[in-house]
Structure 1
């Protein structure tokens, strides 16, 4: 009995000492009102300008985490802080279960959320899976002129370039695992010499060098910003954009801290005024299986990455993310691709057919994912040595799409991110009949561009003219006013030209009761302050 007791005590002791990961949430922030009243103290002018243009409010989530609270956590025995998030008002920590639970006794801490959702058994070692194995395989090598032509023309990004929309003035952040040789690679020489590589940061190592582990990030970056003109020709989908390169992935291991680093990078991107973010990363299973995300977790709101992605969307950025390469494994789109605020991209082959490795939808709550598709099988890339090659993976369909998104948005930068995303979805070839494998299908950026310009014309027309709705109408007809007009008169005539109703209205009192009219066709004339518009309306 004594031996059993000693053994049981040892098991309990070692379990309590095992290292766990967790988010630690704080109760509040310091000087919130002062910071919001003086936003330049917490955001760059570029970020303020973008938010003002899109009508994005500055709120408490933009205020940094209280450094006093972070220091207090760092000073706790057995606790290491690995990341922080102002949007979540939290830090990501590592320590024993008991040490982390002990943090709840601090007045500054509101809650603790463990990465291990059960904490009812000790973690065991699982064979490390190389998440980039598929993408690191060079499927074929050829040096044909314009190697990127097919993947660019497939989505109509070449049309945007012909219209001189190449990403100029747009800022793109690329979040990935490593960007070796970007300052010396010929494919990025224009970006570097033009001063369009605005900054780099490694959130895992806390340094500006972003060589990282592997060359995955350099290759995904090439799909957006590379330009080669000579014996090897290659053009990314936004070759004139400006860039931040952020390393958030630590390839040798797989741990949820990478989600926390990713959110931290989003926060920095937002504060710097970034427009578009490309993420060729996805998270579902980890070295510690207790940390794995189940299908039920991938509801677009639960994971650290999904929560951060949704806030980034609310802050006005447009996030483009790879769907994942688990079509033959876990099957479904991983996080942050499950996020409701993310444009998730699957992979097709050179003919536009579904690539079998591409993760599919729907999400557990029934949403269409992936959103759209681009070439990810035999996708042309530029490697870290400046050579054109071909790789497989949704990691490459995502940046091909992200660059096109930035080039499209350049044509109308005042439009909000949600409108841009919806225009792109509606341009895709399966929009009316989406599938689990392909989502809404392959976008046509020429159609998206034309729809966006038509939207601009419609908005301008509405600014300068009256409009009536609904039509047909049953009981009440509403009148929208041009911006500069406050009062108007509505006159309604039957088909014989007899006036049957007349009413004065204002921009705030703009409802006209037509319930007394008989069913049939009428002409409504709205006149006010020099502007007059006629409308054919059907009374039901």
Structure 2
């Protein structure tokens, strides 16, 4: 039997037959398909995000296809899919106490919070669901690798990581996870590689797992695999989770080298420390490290209902993740950026004063972090964000797909940027750099006014100056049908690009496109949620930012309608399930 594309080519770390792409908001499904057609690629959308896994024909060269796609202005990035290894080091059977609990002040923090009401997604090799210290905290998960519900642990790594983060506490048995009252969402993203005697995952399964966690209500995600900050897809998925109110923790690696990866606020990268607050001998380091946490001799859950002591940044990461879950439980109203900032500011500074390459901002301090979260009182944000459009320039002639680049700033943080064309919102981007692919064929030839509108978490908005461009698309012969629009009986087509059917949480960027046999610019579109009109506009694209978190948990219907100049009406619906 042929090897899975995930398992082939371990030596060079490339997953064969795959390219990962994030499309810019506003790109239509038809335009995307057209870009992939010359390469024989088939796109698979990852959850409710803009990330797509591109499956290539068996005879395609991944590197050649990447070279042609990575510079396309319609994409935020394109990259190869790669394998990554779990970060569990050699076991030490002689250490049998949970020294790290008191070291980070977790017992003190437990007086205020043990993580109740928060779900931690464990993206790993699966979890032993019958383990007595994990079973009470488990919620439904997903086997991302196998696209099924088999969550059995294939190598024991996920079971050990889950116990460090959220093994049940105060139950009179075994060990206590840092956030022992938090829920555990198992997401299997790995497979066992016998030749390497280790668990491996890939950029694509990890990015899909993070997206699944965000769409299904997890507030924290832990991924104990190496060199994840080197992937644009994983960084994008982490930003997507942040936009849903969550944080992603990853391990720094066990190679004892400078990983030479740039820091990115999307990920919290955790190095390992010993009981004496020294760097663990195996722990990787570098500018990418955000935080440190205990990682040597960590007593946690094992397979067959067992317990074991183990080493690795695989365990520093879930320990830090558990602290974040306790903070979120104590103050569910705090934004993820605030939780992240408080984690850093309360950490015990080790090594060189300030942030350094070995410990990041310092070793996590659960007692101080939870206390800071409880007492945090942000002043009312009355400062409006600012926005500007850097491309295209005013008075430029444009046609077809137009790359629109915007920038935005705020005293606290930008929640999203909307692109409006002639007053209609055509696309929404929730993460910097803010960029769009605007289909100019959706408006009439002539001058069109572009405005970028930035919003902060408080709901304040600021608009850019208007950029007027000249739309000059070539005349397109009408499709077969009546020439006189007064007898036009051909209905327009309308499609909901996002979201797709499935679970959603937090804020959902709804994106709709429409086409017609006559002028697309005359189409009138509407977006309704549960029958209530939420957005309308004229042209080929329409977008709306839906605050799904304000709606009750359960199914909700999103309907998009398109009416052409002759009054022909088309509609389409998507049913999504809001999870809390």
Structure 1 counterpart of 2:119, from 151, 155, 171? 171
In structure 1, runs of 5+ residues without a counterpart are: 1-17, 32-65, 118-127, 192-196, 285-297, 363-368, 464-507, 509-540
Instruction: Tell me the equivalent position of 1:97.
Output: 60
TM-score (norm 2): 0.54
- The answer to whether the 8 Å contact 1:83/1:260 transfers is no
Q: Is 1:319 aligned to residue 248 of structure 2?
A: yes
Partners of 1:315 and 1:429 lie apart in 2 by: 29
SS state at 1:187 partner? coil
Structure 2 counterpart of 1:190, from 111, 117, 136? 136
Partners of 1:257 and 1:353 lie apart in 2 by: 30
Instruction: Tell me the equivalent position of 2:164.
Output: 223
Distance 1:385 1:306, change over 3 A: same
Instruction: Tell me the equivalent position of 1:162.
Output: 111
**Structure showing the higher strand proportion among its residues:** 2
Distance 1:403 1:72, change over 3 A: same
Give the deviation of 1:412 after TM superposition: 0.9
Partners of 1:85 and 1:230 lie apart in 2 by: 36
TM-score (norm 1): 0.58
Distance 1:110 1:434, change over 3 A: closer
SS state at 2:284 partner? coil
Instruction: Tell me the equivalent position of 2:358.
Output: 437
Instruction: Tell me the equivalent position of 1:213.
Output: 154
Partners of 2:373 and 2:363 lie apart in 1 by: 17
- The answer to whether the 8 Å contact 1:282/1:324 transfers is yes
- The answer to whether the 8 Å contact 1:232/1:388 transfers is no
Partners of 1:350 and 1:203 lie apart in 2 by: 36
Q: Is 1:275 aligned to residue 223 of structure 2?
A: no
Give the deviation of 1:231 after TM superposition: 8.7
Distance 1:28 1:190, change over 3 A: closer
Give the deviation of 1:257 after TM superposition: 7.7
Partners of 1:333 and 1:207 lie apart in 2 by: 36
Partners of 2:327 and 2:125 lie apart in 1 by: 27
**Structure showing the higher helix proportion among its residues:** 1
| Residues paired across the two proteins, number | 359
- The answer to whether the 8 Å contact 1:85/1:263 transfers is no
- The answer to whether the 8 Å contact 2:20/2:51 transfers is no
Give the deviation of 1:385 after TM superposition: 1.9
Structure 1 counterpart of 2:204, from 254, 260, 265? 260
- The answer to whether the 8 Å contact 1:174/1:246 transfers is yes
Instruction: Tell me the equivalent position of 2:322.
Output: 403
Q: Deviations over 1:163-188 (max 9, x none)?
A: 2x111111111111232x22x11222
Q: Is 1:414 aligned to residue 339 of structure 2?
A: no
- The answer to whether the 8 Å contact 2:133/2:173 transfers is no
Once structures 1 and 2 are overlaid, which stretch shifts more, 338-347 or 349-358? 338-347
Q: Deviations over 1:411-464 (max 9, x none)?
A: 1110111111111111112185232111121132222233333323x749x99x
In structure 2, runs of 5+ residues without a counterpart are: 1-14, 383-459, 461-580
- The answer to whether the 8 Å contact 2:121/2:213 transfers is yes
RMSD (Å) for aligned C-alpha atoms: 4.1
Q: Which has the larger radius of gyration?
A: 1
- The answer to whether the 8 Å contact 1:20/1:115 transfers is no
Q: Is 1:332 aligned to residue 281 of structure 2?
A: no
Q: Is 1:343 aligned to residue 279 of structure 2?
A: no
SS state at 1:158 partner? helix
Give the deviation of 1:24 after TM superposition: 4.8
Distance 1:319 1:427, change over 3 A: same
Instruction: Tell me the equivalent position of 1:152.
Output: 101
Q: Deviations over 1:117-160 (max 9, x none)?
A: 9xxxxxxxxxx9x944x7263212455xxx32x11111111111
Instruction: Tell me the equivalent position of 1:310.
Output: 239
1:82-161 equivalence runs, <5 A: 84=46, 86-95=48-57, 96-97=59-60, 101=65, 113-115=78-80, 131-132=85-86, 135=88, 137-141=90-94, 143=96, 147-148=97-98, 150-161=99-110
Distance 1:374 1:25, change over 3 A: closer
- The answer to whether the 8 Å contact 1:21/1:114 transfers is no
